[in-house]
Amino acid sequence: MNPFLNLFMSYCELIENLISNGYLKTPKIISAFKKIDRADFVPDDIKHEAYVDAPLPIGYGQTISQPLTVAFMIEHLAPERGDKILEIGSGSGWQTAILAEIVGPAAAGGKIFAVELIDKLISNGYLKTPKIISAFKKIDRADFVPDDIKHEAYVDAPLPIGYGQTISQPLTVAFMIEHLAPERGDKILEIGSGSGWQTAILAEIVGPAAAGGKIFAVELIDKLFEFGRNNVEKYKFLSEKRAEFFHSDGSLGLLEQAPFDKIIAAASAAAVPQAWKDQLKIGGRIVAPVLNSIFLLTKKGENQFQESEFPGFAFVPLVSDQD
C-alpha cells in the first residue's frame, strides 16, 4: 500500500478517535482539524509521529501540543467566524492555523494574533526600538502571504510568494529595519517590495502623509507589484498616501522622486548600485544585501560613505532589466 495513504488514514483515524471519545464535537472545529494537517507543523525528523496523540518536541524546550488537548481547549474556547482571537505561545503554528480556518477570511472580520514570533525577535535582540516593535505588532505577516501557506505565516523563515521570490525571514526584516533606523516623516525608497509586508511596516513607522513621510516601493515583477500593492492597501496606506508603488527596475532607483532619507533593498546584488548612492541624501542610510551579507552605508558627503558589513544571510537575487 502507498505509504502516504497510510499516513492519511492515520490522520483520519486520529480525528475519528477524538470525535468518538468526545473531544471533538462541533462541526466547524472538526472540519478545521481535518483540513489543517498536523504533519505540516512538526519537524521533518519526527513527521512519522505526527498522528500520535501525544505532544512532540519542536525545539527550544517547546512542544506541539497533544491533539486531545488542542481539541479540548478549542471546543471550550468556542471560536466563531469573524472572531478576533489573541493566541499566546503560537509555537509550531498548528493551533493558529486551525483557529484561522475557523474564524474565516479577513473580509469576515476574523484574525488570529500570534505574539510568540515577535517576542522571540525581541528576546533574541533583533527587535529593539519601541516604534519598530509596535509596527511589527500592528502589521500582521499573515496578511502578506499566499492563502495556501497562511498557516506558516508565523514561522521565522522565508516563504515562497511565487515567481522565484519570497517574503523575507522575520529575523532578517527586523535586523534590516533596525539598522535602517526609520523615523517619522522619513522619505524611504524600498527596492523589491514583493509581498508588501516590509513596505507596510515602514509605512506604519514613517507616519501619515501630513508628517511628510512616505514609502516609495519599487517592484519589477508584474504579478508581485499587484500582490504587494493590494496587501498594503489592507491597511489603507495607499489611500492615506503613506506608500506608493512603482512598477520599474529597482536597480536604477527612482530618480524622479529623489533624494531619499533612507533606502532599503530586499534582494541581493553583486554591489550596491551607484544610482542608489546618488539618490540618497547626505546623512542618509542604505541597508542592502550584497551577495550573502547585509551592508549598511551611511552617506557622509557627496561621494563619501561609511560602510559596515554583516555576513551570514541569504537572499533571492535582485531582478533587473539591466542583466
| Residue in the structure block whose three cell numbers are 492555523 | 97
Question: How far apart, in Å, are the Cα atoms of 247 and each of 142, 156, 253?
Answer: 24, 29, 12
Assess if residue 124 is contained within a domain: no
Residues serving a catalytic function are: 168
What is d(CA 238, CA 99) in angstroms, rounded to the nearest whole number?
A: 30
- Is there a single domain that holds both residue 82 and residue 210? no
| Set of cell numbers at residue 90 | 503560537
Note the pTM of the prediction, 2 decimals. Answer: 0.70
pLDDT for position 138: 92
Average of per-residue pLDDT values in the chain: 91
Residue after which a domain boundary falls, among 58, 87, 114: 114
Query: Average of pLDDT values for 226-236?
Result: 97
pLDDT for position 4: 39
pLDDT for position 3: 41
Specify the CATH number for the domain of residue 98.
3.40.50.150
What is the share, in percent, of the chain residues with pLDDT greater than 90?
71
pLDDT of residue 2 exceeding 50 = no
Q: Where are the alpha helices (DSSP H) in 62-129?
A: 67-77, 94-103, 116-123
Assess if residue 136 is contained within a domain: no
| Set of cell numbers at residue 134 | 509596535
The pLDDT confidence band at residue 11, using thresholds 50, 70 and 90, is confident
pLDDT of residue 323 exceeding 70 = no
pLDDT of residue 203 exceeding 50 = yes
- Is there a single domain that holds both residue 187 and residue 243? yes
Residue after which a domain boundary falls, among 64, 87, 114: 114
pLDDT for position 1: 33
Query: Average of pLDDT values for 137-148?
Result: 92
Residue (of 80, 32, 56) closest to 24 by Cα position:
32
The pLDDT confidence band at residue 315, using thresholds 50, 70 and 90, is confident
Residue after which a domain boundary falls, among 114, 136, 170: 114
Assess if residue 122 is contained within a domain: no
- Is there a single domain that holds both residue 171 and residue 93? no
* DSSP code string of 215-238: EEEE--SHHHHHHHHHHHHTTTTT
Report long-range pairs for 152-155 (Cβ below 8 Å, ≥24 apart): 152/40, 152/93, 153/93, 153/114, 154/90, 154/93, 154/96, 154/114, 154/116, 154/117, 155/93, 155/117
- Is there a single domain that holds both residue 232 and residue 168? yes
- Is there a single domain that holds both residue 160 and residue 293? yes
- Is there a single domain that holds both residue 306 and residue 160? yes
Q: Output 285 or 89, whichever has higher pLDDT.
A: 285
- Is there a single domain that holds both residue 201 and residue 93? no
Assess if residue 150 is contained within a domain: no
Answer for the pair 229, 254: CB distance below 8 angstroms, yes or no. no
Assess if residue 134 is contained within a domain: no
pLDDT for position 154: 86
- Is there a single domain that holds both residue 161 and residue 106? no
Q: What single letter denotes the amino acid at residue 201?
A: I
Computed from CA positions of residues 191, 196, 202, 203, in that sequence, does the dihedral angle turn out positive or negative?
positive
Query: Average of pLDDT values for 237-242?
Result: 96
Domain that holds residue 284: 155-311
What is d(CA 109, CA 99) in angstroms, rounded to the nearest whole number?
A: 13
Question: How buried is residue 251: exposed, middle or buried, by Cβ count under 10 Å (0-12/13-18/19+)?
Answer: buried
Assess if residue 120 is contained within a domain: no
At residue 309's C-alpha, the angle toward residues 306 and 315, to 5°, is 130
pLDDT tens-digit readout, 23-47: 999 999 999 999 999 999 989 889 8
Question: For 10, left (φ over 0), alpha (ψ -120 to 50), or beta?
Answer: alpha
- Is there a single domain that holds both residue 101 and residue 179? no
Assess if residue 146 is contained within a domain: no
- Is there a single domain that holds both residue 250 and residue 163? yes
Q: Output 226 or 45, whichever has higher pLDDT.
A: 226
- Is there a single domain that holds both residue 69 and residue 159? no
* 3-class SS of residue 179: helix
What is d(CA 266, CA 288) in angstroms, rounded to the nearest whole number?
A: 7
Domain tally, the chain: 2
pLDDT tens-digit readout, 60-117: 788 999 999 999 999 999 999 888 888 888 888 899 999 988 988 765 666 666 677 8
